[in-house]
Amino acid sequence: MAIIALKRIIKAGFLNFKRSGIVSWAAVLVVTITLSVITLIIFLQAVLHFSLNQIKDKVDVTIYFTVNAPEDKIMLLKSSLEKLPEVAQVSYTSADEALKLFRDRHSNDYPTIQALDEIGDNPLGAYLNVKAKEVSQYENIANFMKSDNMLVLGSASIIDKVNYHQNKLVIDRLNTIISGAQKLGFLVTLILVIISMIITFNTIRLTIFISKEEIGVMRLVGASKMHVRGPFLIEGAIYGIIATIITLAIFWPATAWLGRNMTDFLGINMYDYYLSSFFQIFAILLLSGIILGIISSFLAIRKYLNK
């Protein structure tokens, strides 16, 4: 019996959608706009995260060692740093490599190269380049460099300088930007979804208003609230499903155009991102559309069921 009742409710939902005609498609349009806003926010978040990750990749802490520092001690420190949970990567540059890189950077600076040649010996020491998993974790790494662990490892005496304090201002600002961007993105998303839900609710309420006499008759003959409400909830879900398909169809050519013409500006190929994240975006939109349609229908019909 329950399955038969469910089939009837689903069939009634499709009949309601078909019978409402233009009003139903108006509701689909409103839900489509809502889902398009959600999709745009997803893309903007992707661009923002890509840009922030590009900046984060350029932030690091470099540990410079004294000239002729024993390589075994440097490797011991490198191994200890790699064991820290905050550390993503530690790269080692030997003194000879440091000298070669210095010469390459100043290849057009003749006085500097000449002065270097006159010195004869390599005046540069080796160094370690440390990248943290998160920007906020560089301070923990810097604190490790000051801790008693350094004395145990015997590395304190071979370290010339650590450039964390020179980069601290940039690291702190970047950390603030990342935190602020995430909060702003969430707030904007919440506001837009609430506005869209209000508009969707009012549109769906119009479709239910058209059927108010039918609802009244159903209530008079003793139909349960679920039998009255069910078809409208199914109708709301249909709005979400159709709006999801339309939204995905709209963004397919739109992202293809962005991928061809705006990749250099945005820093990310939106078409490639759209294809690689298609099923994820599809799931988010479908779930959002169905929930939006069902909740709006539920709230809109409640007025007539409480009479």
Backbone angles phi, psi at 63, to 5 degrees: -105, 110
Average pLDDT on 220-228 reads 70
Higher local confidence (pLDDT), 236 or 210: 236
Q: What tens digit of pLDDT does each residue of 225-267 get? A: 777 778 888 888 888 899 999 999 999 999 989 888 888 777 7
Flag whether pLDDT at 278 surpasses 80: yes
What's the pLDDT score for residue 154? 55
CA distances from 207 to 23, 137, 185 (A): 6, 54, 33
Task: For residue 228, count CB atoms less than 10 angstroms from its CB and return exposed for 0-12, middle for 13-18, buried for 19 or more.
Answer: buried
CB neighbourhood size of 130 (10 A)? 26
What's the pLDDT score for residue 242? 93
Q: How many residues does the chain have?
A: 307
Q: What tens digit of pLDDT does each residue of 180-208 get? A: 777 787 787 778 777 777 777 777 777 77
Average pLDDT on 284-305 reads 82
What's the pLDDT score for residue 202? 78
Q: 152 pLDDT band (50/70/90 cuts)? A: very low
What's the pLDDT score for residue 149? 54
d(CA 128, CA 115): 26
Higher local confidence (pLDDT), 44 or 252: 252
User: Within its chain, how far is the Cα of 79 from the centroid?
Assistant: 32
Q: What tens digit of pLDDT does each residue of 16-40 get? A: 778 777 878 888 888 888 888 888 8
| Whether the predicted model's global pTM rises above the 0.75 cut | no
d(CA 157, CA 106): 30
Q: What tens digit of pLDDT does each residue of 64-121 get? A: 888 888 888 888 888 888 888 888 889 999 888 888 888 888 778 777 777 777 777 7
Average pLDDT on 272-278 reads 91
Average pLDDT on 167-187 reads 73
Domains of the chain: 2-55+175-305 (no CATH), 59-164 (3.30.70.3040)
d(CA 48, CA 83): 30
For the record, the structure tokens of 199 come out as 């508009």
